[in-house]
Amino acid sequence: MLTQRLVSLWQQAWGIRQTRYLIIYLFAAYGSYLIWLGIRPIVFLSGALIFVFTLLAWVSTPRLPPQESDESDLLNPSVFYAQLEVSRSLLQRDLFGQVALGYWEKTYAQVDAIHQLAVAIAHQESLFIPDLLDTLHTVLSLSTQFSKAFNAAKKMKTSSYKEMAQQHMKASTYRLSQTYSQLQELHDQLLANGIEAELSDASSGVSQRLQTLIKDNASAIQS
């Protein structure tokens, strides 16, 4: 049983590059040890024991499996922009001229600016991270709604439905604009609070404003 356990641990450790480096280092250290103290039975045995126990200690050390990227961590730029790209890919570019595509790129740039502000606020005060994550979820939903409405407005021929799609576009861009403005204001407020070293009442106020922002964005998505 013990032998199987050791074999299993060795197989796991051998797959780690650092294990191979350690073995090379131990052989070099063992050789230096013998040369320095002379090849005598006691030196040979003690060096071998140090070699074996060091290797056993390394092999038996528990290791956490490599962590996968958390897809819900929208403050992580790689996660956020990967999901934003999904929204961007919904846009059927062959339907639009340069003017229309420029309008969409302007919206995309605003989403990018919103994310940068959210990250900056999170660095200023980690207490607001849950609200910031919820805010970024609504921002992604608004950008998706904008892309879908953008496509629909170009395809629709009936004026009433075309107008409805345009209203969704306007609602999305308005909420994104409001999100950017309010996050910029909150960012500056936190900077001012830091100068004044007064965060007691401000923290609850910032959190309430973020939650209101989330609700307003969510209502624009559902409408």
Note whether residue 41 is domain-resident: yes
Q: Are residues 128 and 166 in the same domain?
A: yes
Note whether residue 70 is domain-resident: no
Q: Are residues 31 and 95 in the same domain?
A: no
CA neighbor of 220 nearest in space, from 157, 179, 175: 175
pTM over 0.75: no
Number of domains composing the chain: 2
pLDDT confidence of residue 93: 64
**Beta carbons within 10 angstroms of residue 198's beta carbon:** 10
d(CA 199, CA 210): 16
Note whether residue 68 is domain-resident: no
Q: Are residues 33 and 141 in the same domain?
A: no
Q: Are residues 46 and 87 in the same domain?
A: no
d(CA 58, CA 10): 10
Note whether residue 145 is domain-resident: yes
Q: Are residues 51 and 103 in the same domain?
A: no
Q: Are residues 84 and 46 in the same domain?
A: no
Q: Are residues 9 and 100 in the same domain?
A: no
Note whether residue 69 is domain-resident: no
User: What would the two tokens of residue 119 be?
Assistant: 């990250």
Q: Are residues 120 and 54 in the same domain?
A: no
Note whether residue 66 is domain-resident: no
Q: Are residues 56 and 89 in the same domain?
A: no
Q: Are residues 105 and 32 in the same domain?
A: no
Q: Are residues 32 and 90 in the same domain?
A: no
pLDDT confidence of residue 139: 95
Q: Are residues 115 and 161 in the same domain?
A: yes
Domain ranges, residue 97:
77-222
pLDDT in tens, the chain (223 residues): 445 555 554 555 555 556 666 677 777 777 787 787 777 888 778 878 787 777 677 666 654 444 445 678 899 999 998 998 888 777 766 656 665 667 778 888 899 999 999 999 998 888 889 999 999 999 999 998 988 888 888 788 888 888 888 888 889 999 999 999 999 999 888 888 765 545 455 566 777 888 888 988 888 886 5
Exposure string of 101-138, with b = 16+ CB inside 10 Å and e = fewer, is eeebeebbebbeebbebbbebbebbeebeebbbbbbbb
Note whether residue 130 is domain-resident: yes
Note whether residue 65 is domain-resident: no
